[in-house]
Every structure is written in C-alpha cells, then in structure tokens.
Amino acid sequence: MKGLKGKRVLITGASSGIGAGMAKVLAREGCHLVLHYNRNQTGIKQTMKAVESLGLESGSKVSVLQCDFKALESLPKFFDQAWSVFSGLDGLVNNAGIVSKVTALKDPFGKQFAETLNINLHAPYQLSNAFAQACIDAKKTGAIVNNSSIHGQATCEWFSAYAASKAGLDAISKVQAVEWGQYQIRVNVLAPGVVPVERTDAILLEPEMAEKWQATIPAGRYGTTEDMGEATAFLLSDASAWMTGSILTMDGGLIARGNYPIR
C-alpha cells in the first residue's frame, strides 16, 4: 500500500477481532505498531507474535501498551507513552470499543449508556485531540481512522447506546476533518458490517445463523478482520491522500439494500 512502510501507527483494541486483523495487515505493509489492549493478555500476545512474524519480512516493529479506557483520566499519560515509543506517530486507529445490547427501558438512568459513550466516543475523541495537537506541535502530517459501525447509519432494537456512540463518532470525525484539514491531518471512518470475531464466532458461524445472515448480504458472505485491515491500510496510506471526513462502509452491501423482502 502506497506510502505505509515505516509509518508509526497506534492501534487501540488490538488484542483480538478487527484490531488484530488491522495489526496484521499493517505489519505486512511494514508499519511500526504500538498495540493497545485492556484485559486480554492472551490475545495481545497472539497478535504480537503474528506481527513479529510478519515483521521479519516487512521490517515492521511492534510495542504493546495497556490502558483501561473506562478511566478517561488515564488517557493523556497513555497517549504520551504511545507517542514516545517510536519518537512520534504518523497514524492513529481508534478501534477499541464495547458492544452493549440493552433495551432503553432496562437502562433507565443511562449507566450502561454513559459507559458505552465513554469508551466508544469520548476516548477516541480525546485520543484524536491529543494526536492532532502532537502532530501540529511537531509540524507534521497525520492520519486518523475511527472504527465505527453500520449501526451509526442504520440500527435496530437493543442498540441505543452502541448506535448513539457510533453515530456520534461518525459526526465528530467529520468535524475534526474540517478543523484539522489546514494542518494536513486527515480523519476518516471505517464502518464495518457483520464481521465474525472471537466473541461472536460460535453464533454467527452456526450453519442456520450463517445461512440466515448471508442471505441478506448482497455480497453473499460475512466480512473478515483482514477485509477491515485492508480498508484501514488504504485509509492510512497515500492512496487516500485527498480523502478526509469520509465514511467507508464495508458491509457487503447489507445496508445499501435496505430491509426489503428478498424478491
């Protein structure tokens, strides 16, 4: 991917799922990676092992940092540590998040709603601000990729907190792109559709469930974490140098079709 080799990139939530897929693709492209995790030590070790193996050929380097994004006050120190690993960063991938499923009436005081917004929206907002300010101070360009979801555009029951956090992430990404364009700092959004990961494999790959879901996806298959990694590489690379404030939807055509009966 054009212009990625040697780029220094922080990926949050890299211990499993889409974050791990992103890390593997960017390592293949020769990026130097700072990988964040919270609790999943086994997962981050597996990601790091895969990245180190890919780095033998590509020249990629990797470092790991832990942080609990529920504690928003810890983010400034975390970002400073991430920036210092390779003496700066060229890219930030805000991937860490939680999927909360609860009806609004079962969360009447918004406890789960607030926690979801802290992790999925406030944390990437804060990290993006820190990244942009550091780039401006260093007089360098930068690229941010915010991992959102199709739920930010079209959603369903149980997802009020999650959908709100992702719609908010879509919105602030556009605002940040406008504010920071003058500094050559790009901000784009990746909006994945149905991508089986470790916590959903057992359900989504069950034959009856897979047939049900894939019949509604025009492309006829689920997405993969590698698909999301390739899209992230594109958004960070020079191939998308004139792209900012955009939402790249990767869902096999699921929401483009709409909720119409199959004819």
Residues assigned a catalytic role: 162
DSSP letter (8 states) at residue 102:
B
Q: Which letter, b or e, does each residue of 46-79 get, where b requires 16 or more Cβ atoms within 10 Å of its Cβ?
A: ebbebbeebbeebebbbebbebebeeeeebeebb
DSSP for 70-95?
Answer: T-GGGHHHHHHHHHHHTTS-SEEEE-
Please name the residues in contact with 40: beta carbons below 8 A apart, sequence gap of 6 or more: 15, 16
* Residue whose pair of structure tokens reads 């993006």 in the numeric block: 128
Name the residue with tokens 């499993």.
Answer: 16
| End-to-end alpha carbon distance in the chain | 39
Query: Token pair for residue 6?
Result: 């040697």
| Separation of alpha carbons 65 and 116, rounded Å | 22
CA separation for the pair 175, 156 (Å, rounded): 26
- Is residue 192 within 8 A of residue 250, CB to CB? The reply is yes
Among 34, 14, 24, which Cα is nearest to 78's? Answer: 34
Q: What CA–CA distance (Å, rounded) separates 104 from 204?
A: 25
Distance CA 42, CA 198 (A): 13
